[in-house]
Amino acid sequence: MNSCYNNDPLRRSGEFHPKSLTEACRALRHSKRTGWLSAVAWHHNLVGAPTQDDYLDAGFLQLLIDAGASLAFHGHQHLSECFDERYRLGKNPRKITIVSAGTLCAEPNNLRSGVPRSYNIVELDTDSWCGCVHQRQMVNAYMSLPVWGPGHFINTNSSFFEFKLCEPTATRPKLLDEQLILAQADGLLGDQKWPEALDILEKIKNVPLARPLITKALEEISDTQLIIDKLYPPVNNAEAVIIGDAILRAGTLEKAKAFVELEFVLNNQDASVCDISRRITERRLK
């Protein structure tokens, strides 16, 4: 998220555009993110000294917590920190863990007084829902060739900060990913984007509901070898006819023989399947 809305040399405080914040919350609540551990990043810090004004009003955090965000990352203050902000607008027990970054590459005159260059490594365990921020800081004085060692968090008096992750607001349904891919592929087919639809359907090609969409995309692409590669062996009469036609036009002798000897084709009583099998036998195998 961009925290520099309305920000200039005369108005130093951070701010989000209201529409941006609304869209971020809507994105967090989107069905495709159900069950995901969600994180948000922006630039400005959330608190400052009485004489400072270049930070964000932390009230927006309540909206992100309510929308399902569990983690947040920011910079700007050139100091590594880690703390929790809890939901304050009701009985919802949710919280968000805020991790701020130090300065990795600044020259000495741009560093915070008494704080060396540093960076964080964030470790997440979504089985136990725990996290840990490890701080690494520059431990030598040669700015062109820094050496990195353990940093120091004031809150813990150590180089790391452990925290409890706030779990997602809902468990991800087992078949949600398949349903989302099917919906996306259906939209791509409606827009006549056949190759794009085929690419995403490849992820769920063994799902029964995906086969008709794959068949539709292949028919429109009209690549005979691709039809054979993607659909063979057929699982229904429509596929048998499409594959048979592709073999009739461009298939190898071995593939033609294998097709007519398929149990699904040999024992099939459908007139269209029988006809394509007969034509392959007459034109390719005699």
Is 234:246 a contact under the CB 8 Å cutoff?
Answer: no
Confidence at residue 91, expressed as pLDDT on a 0 to 100 scale: 87
Is 169:157 a contact under the CB 8 Å cutoff?
Answer: no
83-89: Cβ within 8 A, 24+ apart: 83/155, 84/163, 85/58, 85/61, 87/62, 88/62, 89/62
pLDDT of 112 > 90? The answer is: no
pLDDT digits (tens, 9 = 90+) for 220-258: 998 999 999 999 999 999 999 999 999 998 888 999 999
Confidence at residue 187, expressed as pLDDT on a 0 to 100 scale: 96
Q: Where in the chain do CATH 1.25.40.10 domains reside?
A: 176-284
pTM reported for the whole predicted model: 0.78
Terminal CA-CA length for the chain = 68
Strands 130-138 and 148-150: antiparallel
Q: Is the peptide bond before 116 cis (omega within 30 degrees of 0)?
A: no
pLDDT of 286 > 80? The answer is: no
Q: What CATH code is assigned to 176-284?
A: 1.25.40.10
Does domain 18-164 fall into CATH 3.40.50.2300? Answer: no
pLDDT of 277 > 90? The answer is: yes
Confidence at residue 258, expressed as pLDDT on a 0 to 100 scale: 93
Q: Where in the chain do CATH 3.60.21.10 domains reside?
A: 18-164
pLDDT digits (tens, 9 = 90+) for 42-85: 999 999 888 899 999 999 999 999 999 999 999 999 999 999 99
DSSP state for residue 170 in the 8-state scheme: S
